[in-house]
Chain A
Amino acid sequence: MKLEMVTNAAGRQVPAEVNGRVSVPFAGIGGHRPSGRKAAPAIATCLDYPSDGDKRAGSIREALETVGLADGMVVSSHHHLRNGDAVANAVFDAAAELGTRDLMWFPSASFPVHSNQIRHLDSGVLHHIEGSMNGPLGAYCSEGKMRGLGVLRSHGGRWQAIQDGEVRIDVAVIAAPTADAFGNATGDRGPGACGLLGFALADSIYAEKVIVVTDNLIPFPCLPWQIQGNNVDVVVEVDSIGDPAQIVSGTTRVTQSPDRRRIAELAARFCAEAGIMRPGFSFQAGAGGITLAFASYLRDLMRAAGVTARFARGGSSAVMVEMLGEGLIEHILDGQTFDLDAVASLRDDPRHVNTSPFTSYNFHGKGNFASMVDVAVLGATEVDLEFNGNVVTHSDGRLLHGIGGWQNCLAARCAMLLVPSFRDRIPVIVDEVTTLCGPGELIDVVVTERGIAINPRRQDLLDAVAGSRLPIRPIADLKAELDRICGVPQKVPRFNEPVAVVKWIDGTVIDTVWKVD
């Protein structure tokens, strides 16, 4: 692919065109304003739909035929079933049977179980994927085997791309743990319960055709209906939408790793000492490793200080649910449920509600929840001396992670990256991030096991913790220490051929992902 490259406002080389569409290079924080009107599917008429509300088709293959799947179309799916998903694979297997070619797959994220799609990419059924790619799919893309460019978007950015018409979904396939024959669907109950279906919401509203696939069909009405059947064309009942054990874990345990616990504890103490933790505050934490441990240390500090949070944003899991039960949190605004305790809480506790990327993250709307949060804790693969952050590749440039809500959460009043200073000798603090995912202006604090670095732009935070016993250190100091421990690394040669681009929350292109050898 010989592409014309331009330099964006962050100094990064990005393609002027992405998959045949002109792209807007990153224009700086707040540098780009959208224009035009929201996209919409064609107007439908009840004349075309069964008046008894029974939209069932016999199989996924039949459903695809019914909606008129054709070459070159855009097919979307959600990732609430995580590595237990069986539906996305079934869709492309069926498309292959139908002889369809050159499809673009538009998942909200992909998982190793989706490496099934590698053979469809090889055979031409799939042209390319726009969505995060981990594991084997990430390697496939990194090695330059995909015909089109990968496009990595945040959860908010995916909603924005659909809403703004940048991506027009021809067929949305929505795996639903419970649904009725009209197409109403929910994720909070059923053998494959995953909590909520927020990542499929935009698909249901904006796609031309919508297929709901469920293994738990119940008589109308299916309540609560996060997905409205009035947006759905066809419903398919299958034996199983996926492996429940891989959809949610039985329970999430706080990590025992001493380093991760130390980072989490330092971060929680920072929140307390900087005055961020105070009555009525809000926070966002995840369900992975360090950020989950953060929630448990924060809980202990909140208990000791008698502080209640007005709301918390999740990634929800048992720890957060426990806090809700204890009255330490007044509401959980949930983006994704990670274990059975959280699924049950979402279903049964009115204070634990589902959200979607529209309410939490969409930047092209009239506000979003992410910017209203007092503190957000996130991971990262790399952070550099200017506090720029990378979340999609390591320093070898290989695609490893999706963006998730990471970019969107940087809008919080205090955005904190909780990272080990090195992983298996690979430094996490670097001179310059390999792939720019989040500009340093938005990253306020970096917490490692060896110390806490505060962005010099945040004099208020520096003042708030002056005289604290916390190990506050300049980021250059932390880097010097880990260069001593790990040894100064060789320079990694880069810049040959683009294989993917990273979009910012406003749809502009913030960086390129390059081919690896």
Chain B
Amino acid sequence: MPDLHPITAGPLGDDVRSDCHVRYERGGAELGIDVESKVGYLYGDAIEATARRVLGAFGVVTGRLTIIDRGALDWVILARVEACLRRAGFEGDPVLPASSAGAVVPTRRDRLRRSRLYLPGNRPKLMLSAGLYGADGLILDLEDSVPPADKDAARVLVRNALIALDWGASERMVRVNQGDIGQEDLRAIARHKPHVVLLPKVEDPEQVRRAAAVLRQEAGDDGPYLMPILESPLGIHRAFEIAAADARVVALTLGLEDLSAELGAPRTEAGWESFAARQATVYAARAAGVQPIASVFSDIADDEGLARYVERERGLGFDGIGCIHPRQIPVVHRAMTPSPTEAERAVRVVRAARDAEQRGLGAVAVGSKMVDPPVVKQARRTVALAVAGGALDEDWDADATEAPPNDDGS
């Protein structure tokens, strides 16, 4: 007798691409597997074999598993079958996908985070080429872009994506949920080398500490960095404490949509309603020694508006912007790139600093001006930005053995 309450996972429909729908029905003395795939003639056998591996790992020996596939890659099928079986109450060790070619490129505290691209964590199609877009970071999102009913399935998908997806040179980021669901998210992904975990709606430094504790437990001291997101007036108010809550925090960002909603003032292009919040974020981040990152710009088609927004946020001191569509990435990078004049000035400062160090001098002089360490540090960042943005050649320092600059800085 057919199961009246089949358990399912994954989307169904003619417009589904690069994903699959999995259905499990209890009953019967044997295990049956049906695969209906638009690429069945190419991968039908492989899809069935993949399903069998997961069924085996979860000890499923009876019932009927049906997969309605629309071109899902192997790691997606593994995730959908696992999610379905877990929903049906089965437990087991996950069958992990093969790692993508190329080792995970390690990250650094201070790496450039000019652009970070949000990708919905439950939609594999948008992830497949994400490593090609040149974003400084990619965020697989388990929070706002995933409906509550799908958060468990998204978690498995994102875990598999950490293993099997080609992230290119982008930083591997995951935004987890708040509260208990977030804790489960952390546990699922911690060992699969995310570089940075974004914590949403942080209002209390304790949220940061709790997350850090889970990550240490799961992944030891080499685990991911943290980026708290401030999305409420209370969060803004406690910004510094939050930014300084744990050594793992490398950046601080804010979510203007939710923040504006709580303010009771609509989000405007001029942005005065959020000015204090944005400034507070920058100050708190710098005070805590972490990177301040700005919120997203929602009008995908408005390149000029985006460029103006980026220039404004950069002017406030932000190091990067959130992106919601790959076409925003080059616009953001261009707007974050220093002008040739700024780049030249920064090069002079960096060279002067190195010169001073070589000569064993305590103070750095550029021309007749003395420059303090923070200025040197900022100059180094400017040079890095300039190189990344193509305003400076990668081999700008090739003539490092040249004579040191003259007194007038030339």
Which of A's residues lie within 8 Å of B, judged by CB? 256, 258-259, 261-262, 395-396, 423-426, 449-450, 481, 484-487, 489-490, 492
Contacts and interface: CB of A to CB of B under 8 A. Distances in A.
Given A449-B132, A484-B101, A256 B300 contact: yes
Contacts of A450: 129, 132
A262 B73 contact: no
A424 B129 contact: no
B71 to A, nearest CB: 3
A425 B327 contact: no
Contacts of A262: 129, 132-133, 326
A54 to B, nearest CB: 51
For the complex of A and B, list the 4 residue pairs with the smallest distance between their C-beta atoms, beginning with the closest: A424-B71, A258-B326, A489-B42, A425-B71
Interface of B: 17-18, 38-39, 41-46, 70-74, 100-101, 128-129, 132-133, 166, 300, 325-327
A425 B39 contact: yes
Contacts of B71: 423-426
Contact of B42 (A261, A484, A492): A492
Contact of B39 (A256, A258, A424, A485): A424
B73 A395 contact: no
Nearest to B18: A424
A485 B166 contact: yes
Nearest to B330: A265
Contacts of A261: 326-327
Contacts of B132: 259, 262, 449-450
Given A258-B129, A485-B73, A396 B41 contact: yes
A425 B42 contact: yes
Given A425-B18, A490-B42, 15 more contacts: A261-B326, A262-B132, A424-B71, A425-B43, A425-B73, A426-B71, A449-B129, A481-B101, A484-B100, A485-B128, A485-B166, A487-B43, A487-B74, A489-B42, A492-B41
Contacts of A484: 100-101
A425 B133 contact: no
Contacts of B18: 424-425
A490 B44 contact: yes
A258 B133 contact: yes
A211 B26 CA distance: 64
A424 B17 CA distance: 6
A293 B327 CA distance: 13
Contacts, number: 64
A395 B133 CA distance: 28
B302 to A, nearest CB: 13
Contacts of B101: 481, 484
Given A425-B73, A487-B74, A256 B42 contact: no
In this complex, which of B41, B45, B326 has the most chain A Cβ atoms within 10 angstroms of its Cβ?
B41
Nearest to B19: A424
A490 B327 CA distance: 36
Contact of B43 (A259, A449, A485, A489): A489
Nearest to B126: A258
Contacts of A425: 18, 39, 42-43, 71-73
Contacts of B44: 490
24 contacts: A258-B133, A259-B129, A262-B133, A396-B42, A423-B71, A424-B18, A424-B39, A424-B70, A424-B71, A425-B18, A425-B42, A425-B43, A426-B42, A449-B132, A450-B129, A484-B101, A485-B166, A486-B43, A489-B39, A490-B42, A490-B45, A490-B46, A492-B41, A492-B42
A336 to B, nearest CB: 28
A258 B325 contact: yes
B37 to A, nearest CB: 9
A262 B38 CA distance: 26
Contacts of B133: 258, 262
Contacts of A396: 41-42
A424 B18 CA distance: 5
Contacts of A490: 41-46
In this complex, which of A449, A481, A486 has the most chain B Cβ atoms within 10 angstroms of its Cβ?
A486
B275 to A, nearest CB: 31
A180 to B, nearest CB: 45
A226 to B, nearest CB: 38
Nearest to B69: A425
Nearest to A493: B41
A462 to B, nearest CB: 23
Contacts of A449: 129, 132
A135 to B, nearest CB: 14
Nearest to A489: B42
